[in-house]
Structure 1
């Protein structure tokens, strides 16, 4: 049975657990796709895994995220929430770089490095390899696969850190 993702402003613990579980599942799928030679699919799953990790990290730094994103977002039903909570909940691709810069101040530059890799892989997922470097930064599937492995290591490292700190 599918459960609705807990909202970070209602159930921080439930949201964190769901995001960590999502990161683990997406990582596992990415590894499976990679082993089967489905590189673009693996890139998409690695991207999703990293976004889940970013959302979990952002929740741990909720006050800083709320300070950085001070606007208000209207939800269905007319409820208004802080834009920072909205960013944490949805972790849109247009916000991940800014969130990563914020998180890097507390969690190290690795957050930014992995985010840049994830964004590159997200682009590659849609465009595939491109020897000329116009539509994708990866000239070959092999080059993308190397970064997928690198990003998946980062997903594992940061997931473990979050779990070790008690979520």
Structure 2
């Protein structure tokens, strides 16, 4: 995979690389599932969704500037718009909010991805305290669902 362009320098190149990242991460998630590596698959499908949201956020730059005003100082002392920084980093604590701005479907996908991210770290929990998934099988269902949703969306974007 090529180096990630900065969205403040070349937004369309950034979007293209993030879409490719989403595709590769979804493929890896599927392969991990086939090998019985459910928690690893959860992490990969989360990364795929995060990359997809970051790519789609490029098209919402104007709306993001209203939500995330101001500037952020980055490495090297350079200052960039906070909205561009959010797109570049796509912090997990901003993922849902950005996804909601993109579309209902992307919001739905991000919601599942965030639950799977929690499962990745905590595993299944029959009591539902540490994880929203009571079994690995329940998580596998959502991982497959999210892989299919991401691949479906990617196919429409590249068509």
TM-score > 0.5, shorter chain as reference: yes
Give how far 1:90 is off. 0.7
Q: Which residue of 2 aligns with 1:71?
A: 70
**Helix, strand or coil at the partner of 1:138:** coil
Q: Which moved more, 1:37-46 or 1:61-70?
A: 61-70
Residues 32 and 130 of structure 1: is their aligned pair in 2 closer, same or farther, counting only changes over 3 Å? same
- The normalised TM-score by structure 2 is 0.96
Q: Which residue of 1 aligns with 2:22?
A: 23
Unpaired runs of 5+ residues, structure 1, are none
Give how far 1:122 is off. 0.2
- The normalised TM-score by structure 1 is 0.91
Q: Which residue of 1 aligns with 2:136?
A: 141
**CA contact 2:21–2:51 (8 Å) conserved in 1:** yes
**CA contact 1:53–1:158 (8 Å) conserved in 2:** no
> What is the root-mean-square deviation in Å for CA atoms of aligned residues?
1.1
Matches within 5 A, 1:114-129: 114-129=109-124
Give how far 1:144 is off. 0.1
Give, in whole Å, the separation in 2 of the partners of 1:92 and 1:14. 20
**Helix, strand or coil at the partner of 1:95:** helix
**CA contact 1:40–1:128 (8 Å) conserved in 2:** yes
**CA contact 1:20–1:53 (8 Å) conserved in 2:** yes
Give how far 1:161 is off. 2.7
Unpaired runs of 5+ residues, structure 2, are none
Q: Which residue of 2 aligns with 1:34?
A: 33
Matched, 1:11 2:17: no
Which residue of 129, 136, 149 corresponds with 1:154? 149
Cα deviation, 1:92-122, whole Å, max 9, x if unaligned, reads: 1011011011112xxxx11111111000000
Count of paired positions: 159
